[in-house]
Structure 1
Amino acid sequence: MPRFAAGVVKFQSEVFPEKKELFEKLSHGQSPEALFITCSDSRIETAMITQTDPGELFICRNAGNIVPPHTEHTGGMTASIEFAVSALNIPHIVICGHTECGAMKGAMNPEGLDSLPHVRQWLGYSKAAVDIVNHLAPDADDETRMKMLLEQNVVLQLQHLKTHPAVAVRLAKGDLALHGWVYDIKSGEVVAYDEASGKFEPVAERYAAEVAKHLGHSGCAA
């Protein structure tokens, strides 16, 4: 904890002064470009991965980057999604999974979660993804099955997301886009889901035109 306190002091004395204008602007409100749903894992640093500043991402985190299907029950994810989509009018939602995910390892082997009943119940929202892996790759090695599960879980949560009324309305209007990513902790690679092909591609390929345009505006080589 002393290290964290020292970090706050350093932020106040060194970082904040350099970004004072940004924080002054943010003190009047927020207008994030995306709702970023990812895992609670401490190794996932959203701002570092996306190179974004405060105010650009509305972030929701939980074990397994899970989005429960919509029900009449009010939960934290349901409320956060509704607020981001209906109040903040964000134009993009990203669901980002990651390698070495303990939640997905637990989903694949739920018998090891007997001492964590709430975790086990929560990971039930990923069961369909596990079933797909068991059906399509029953004899594959563990690494292949886990890679498939990480991707299938992201696709499943995107499907769950579409059951939320606020999301469904915006999708029907055509002013909201959904994105599914998987981040590789070891390599730094991020792959993105292409709904048309049903495959995951490197972000640089999936968003080639957008990336080239943005880097061009930034004065960087594409």
Structure 2
Amino acid sequence: MVPGRAELFQRLATTQHPGALFVTCSDARVIPELMTQREPGDLFVIRNAGNMVPSYAPGPGGESASVEYAVAVLAVTDIVICGHSDCGAMTAISTGRCLDDVPAVADWLHHADAAKAVNAAGTYSSPGEKLRALIRENVISQLANISTHPSVALALRQGRLNLHGWVYDIETGGVETLDPATGRFVPLIDNPCPTPTPARLGQSV
């Protein structure tokens, strides 16, 4: 047990009440609790390559089950989809890397096909700019995907759930959030949510 945290972990031993579902990449450099300055128990986390959430479909699925549990059982009030700089999954898509040696990865990355299509239609001054745009477009795409899940759709309709799109910069530690009014990503520090509680982590979209 972490010294000095006995009371916290005793409380968490039998219950959890996270305020938010945080969907982010498996990248070892991305630490949700460190990024958000939250305590253990504050976030219900899904991590996978490229911070993907497949659109809802009948049948078993780890992401679908986790989303459903977070929203329908734990009653989280916020969902954050968080991409990040230097994302390997997005780099593979952006550069058209051959993935024949990792067929499971290649199949998984099809969940970013919508973002890939939008990104391919753009004009960029450099490969780095193209990658930056894809990382952000993928966050937008995954927000659309998660909205197809019945538990999410219902909670959104009932006004008890907010969606947020973030991009985390590994080098600076800065976070950009999707501004729903403009469709652009803006610094989170300059655009905080009006109610800064653990369940209100960013700008609602």
TM, length-normalised to structure 1: 0.85
Q: Is the 8 A contact 2:50 2:89 kept in 1?
A: yes
Residue by residue over 1:125-144, the C-alpha shift from the partner in whole angstroms, topping out at 9 and shown as x without a partner, is 1111111111022x531111
8 Å CA contact 1:98–1:185 kept in 2: the answer is yes
Give runs of ≥4 in structure 1 deviating > 6 Å: none
Find the partner of 2:122 among 116, 122, 136. 136
Q: Does 1:81 align with 2:67?
A: yes
Q: Which runs of 5+ in 2 are unaligned?
A: 198-205
Q: Is the 8 A contact 1:183 1:190 kept in 2?
A: yes
Q: 2:26 aligns with which of 32, 37, 40?
A: 40
Distance 1:119 1:110 in 2: 13
1:5 — aligned with what?
none
Q: What's the % identity of the aligned pairs?
A: 42
From 13, 22, 25, the counterpart of 2:11 = 25
CA deviations on 1:131-170 (whole Å, 9 max, x unpaired) are: 1111022x53111111100100000000001000000000
**1:15-54 alpha-carbon deviations (Å, 9 max, x no partner):** 2x40111111111200001000000000001111111111
Name the TM-score, length of structure 2 as normaliser: 0.92
Q: Secondary structure at the residue paired with 1:136? A: coil
SS in 1 for 2:98: helix
- Contact 1:69-1:164 within 8 A present in 2 as well: yes
Aligned-residue Cα RMSD (Å) equals 1.3
Q: Deviations over 1:179-212 (max 9, x none)?
A: 000000011110000122101111112216445x
SS of 1:113's partner is coil
| Higher mean C-alpha deviation, range 157-166 or range 191-200 | 191-200
**Higher normalized helix content (fraction of residues):** 1
Say whether the 8 Å CA contact 1:34–1:58 is kept in structure 2: yes
- Secondary structure class of the residue paired with 1:140: coil
Alignment deviations for residues 58-107 of structure 1 (CA, whole Å, 9 cap, x no partner): 01100000000000021100000000000000000001000000010112
In the alignment, residue 171 of structure 1 is paired with which amino acid?
Answer: L
Q: Give the number of the structure whose alpha-carbon radius of gyration is greater.
A: 1
Higher normalized contact order (CA 8 Å, seq sep 6+, divided by chain length): 2
8 Å contact kept, 2:94–2:130: no
Q: Does 1:116 align with 2:81?
A: no
Check if 1:71 corresponds to 2:57: yes
Cα distance between partner residues in 2 of 1:128 and 1:114? 21
Report if the CA contact (8 A) 1:107-1:124 is conserved: no
Counterpart for residue 82 of structure 2: 96
Which residue type is aligned with residue 75 of structure 1? G
On the 8 A contact 1:107/1:120 being kept in 2, the answer is no
- How many angstroms apart in 1 are the aligned matches of 2:30 and 2:36? 11
CA contact (8 A) 1:92 1:179 kept: yes
- Aligned pairs for 1:3-22 within 5 A: 12=1, 15=2, 17-22=3-8
Partner of 1:147: 132
Change in CA separation of 1:81 and 1:208 when aligned onto 2, cut-off 3 Å: closer
- Which one of 185, 188, 191 corresponds to residue 200 of structure 1? 185
Contact kept, 8 Å, 1:103 with 1:123, in 2: the verdict is: yes
* Structure 1 residue ranges without an equivalent (≥5): 1-11, 215-222
